[in-house]
Amino acid sequence: MDMLTRERGGRLVYQVHDRISVPEDVPVLGVEKGDEGIIRELVLHNDTVTAFVEVSYSTGRTRGWILMEIMPEEKVSSYTPVN
C-alpha cells in the first residue's frame, strides 16, 4: 500500500510514486529547477515531511537520488549521484 501525506482538512498532497518537481538546481546530477523525479518514500518527522526522490535519465536509468523537504517548504536537503 502506498504511503499518503495529508494536509489539514484531509486533502491528499503527495503519494509515493507521484512525480514531483525539483525546487532548485542540482548541478552534480544535471538536474535543473522544475525537472521531475519520482517520490519513492515519504517520511514525517515532527512538522516536516521529507521525500526521497529518484531522478532518472530519459532512458529510465537512475541518475541519482534527492532528499527533499516538501513541507513546510520545498527545498533540496541533499543528493546522491548513482555511478
2-46 residue pLDDT tens: 455 555 566 666 778 899 999 999 999 999 999 999 999 999 888
Domain count, the chain: 1
Per the structure block, which three cell numbers stand in for 30?
Answer: 544535471
pLDDT: which is higher, 75 or 6 = 75
Q: What is the pLDDT of residue 76?
A: 97
Domain hosting 22: range is: 4-81
Question: Quick check: pTM over 0.95?
Answer: no
Distance CA 65, CA 55 (A): 6
Closest CA to 53 of 33, 79, 82, 27: 79
pLDDT: which is higher, 71 or 34 = 34
For residue 72, whether the previous peptide bond is cis, meaning omega lies within 30 degrees of 0, is yes
Helix (H, G, I), strand (E, B) or coil at 44: strand
Taking residues 65-75, report their average pLDDT: 93
Q: What is the pLDDT of residue 16?
A: 81
